[in-house]
Amino acid sequence: MFEFGRDLRKLFAQARESEDLGWVELIGPDLLRAEAMRETIDAGRVSCPRPFEVEHRAAALWREHARRGGAGESLDRADRCADSLARAAVGEDQIALAAADKAAILMLRFDLCGAPGRLDRALSILTAAGQPRSRRVAAAVAAFHARLKVRTARLSGQIDQLAEAAVLMDAAVSGDGVNDMDLRMDRAALALETGVVGRDPRLLDQAGRDLGALVEAASPDHRPLTRARALALCGAGLTALAAIAGHDKARAQGRIMFEAATDQFTPDHSPLDWAAIQVLRANDDAQPLMLLTQAESMTQGSGLVIGALARERRITREVALAEAVKNLTALMTLETRLRARMPDASPLDWSADQIGMAEILLARRRLGGPAPADLGLILAEAAATAREQGVEILAERAETLLKTVRD
């Protein structure tokens, strides 16, 4: 995506020594992997003057590589770096940083593949590590702890836990020397989510300010992925509000935000970011089905949350298109494909396929076919499986469809 001339290579070399890893947004997955490997090898050299710091950077680079493409190997390499850091850590600060790295991998594994137990383990690791002495390290650990608590609060569905997580998030954002873009993105996402659900103007205003600040701070020439993620959240918020209020102008503005987000980078630069944007805009009938199909193909086979969501959205769209033209043959073909791949599917993909199967059976009934049997059981199992994996959005889709069936 980016060309590296002599002057830019010099800047790139200088960036490697910086604590701010924002520069990795400018390089593609292959170069990012090479950088992570280089740091890992350097950390193991006897001549390395600061092996702990170098391996700490290597762990962060491996996590970013996994975040962009979902590679399980990269997560495993990050895990090995974190284990090495834990063995080598000396003093409260290094012990806390090593624990934060281990917990960060667990949180990323949850974000990518679900399983709420990973969040519990991450919180336990942070708690066991104790308090660092450095204010800078303490602020960084507090920021990460707040991000973890937001995820556990979402899963609990308890208003008081969400409120507590929001307080922690606000405190972390205002912490000494904290300039964590991911932390700010998580706070904006929490405010947006709770604001839309509760129709709270105060929270929606806060989310708008936070996202606006992120877009402003994330230059397309320096942080294209952060900018794209903020723009995509803006699009998701506008689309959700448009759905609630039936506001066509907000819907159109949301579409513009999604298009602006995808303009920041190419699909091969960050496949999972690109796929996530396609899933977020999947309710827009103007979105070509081909984009959802592409998002699914880029994320399938690894048990990824975003892959299951793309799978479910693509099936739902295909069912709607087939029903619109009364094509029973197409519906039967879809059903045959789903039944063939269900036995080998991951739990999340299986849940997505169950929802898709219910959509097919309901569409066939609306076109004059027989009333489907065990539809309630199919959807209840799909919702339970998704919730066990910590993917509330998939569980809610199954439950929404189940309510339709019962009504």
What are the DSSP calls for 378-395, one per residue? HHHHHHHHHHHTT-HHHH
Helix H, strand E, coil C: the string for 294-306 is HHHHHHCCCCCHH
Query: Looking at the predicted structure, is the pLDDT value of residue 53 above 60?
Result: yes
CB of 75 closer than 8 Å to CB of 109: yes
Confidence of residue 405 (pLDDT cuts 50, 70, 90): confident
CA distances from 376 to 13, 385, 399, 405 (A): 58, 14, 10, 7
- The residue length of the chain stands at 407
Give 291: exposed, middle or buried? Use CB within 10 Å, 0-12, 13-18, 19+: buried
Which alpha helices (H) appear in 130-247, and where do they start and end?
135-156, 159-173, 181-198, 201-217, 224-245
Confidence of residue 284 (pLDDT cuts 50, 70, 90): confident
What sign does the CA torsion over 95, 101, 104, 105 have? Answer: negative
How much of the chain, in percent, has pLDDT values that exceed 90? 76
Task: Indicate the range of 4-8, 211-215, 237-241 predicted with least confidence.
Answer: 4-8
How high is the mean pLDDT of the chain?
91
Helix H, strand E, coil C: the string for 80-95 is HHHHHHHHHCCHHHHH
The residue-averaged pLDDT of 36-64 equals: 95
Query: Looking at the predicted structure, is the pLDDT value of residue 4 above 50?
Result: no
Query: Looking at the predicted structure, is the pLDDT value of residue 214 above 50?
Result: yes
Q: What is the pTM (predicted TM-score) of this model?
A: 0.92
Q: Which two tokens stand for residue 72?
A: 């399980």
CB of 112 closer than 8 Å to CB of 70: yes
The residue-averaged pLDDT of 46-57 equals: 94
Q: Write down the pLDDT at residue 1.
A: 44
Distance of alpha carbon 4 from alpha carbon 24, whole angstroms: 13
Give 404: exposed, middle or buried? Use CB within 10 Å, 0-12, 13-18, 19+: exposed
Tens of pLDDT, residue by residue over 100-133, are: 999 999 999 999 999 999 999 999 999 999 889 9
Query: Looking at the predicted structure, is the pLDDT value of residue 70 above 70?
Result: yes
Q: Write b or e for each residue in 350-388: b if 16 or more Cβ atoms lie within 10 A of its Cβ, otherwise e.
A: bbbbbbbbbbbbbbbeeeeeeebeebeebbeebbebbbb
Tens of pLDDT, residue by residue over 255-280, are: 999 999 999 999 999 999 999 999 99
User: Half-sphere exposure (CA, 13 Å, Cβ side) for 260?
Assistant: 18
For the ranges 160-164, 370-374, 385-389, the maximum mean pLDDT occurs at 385-389
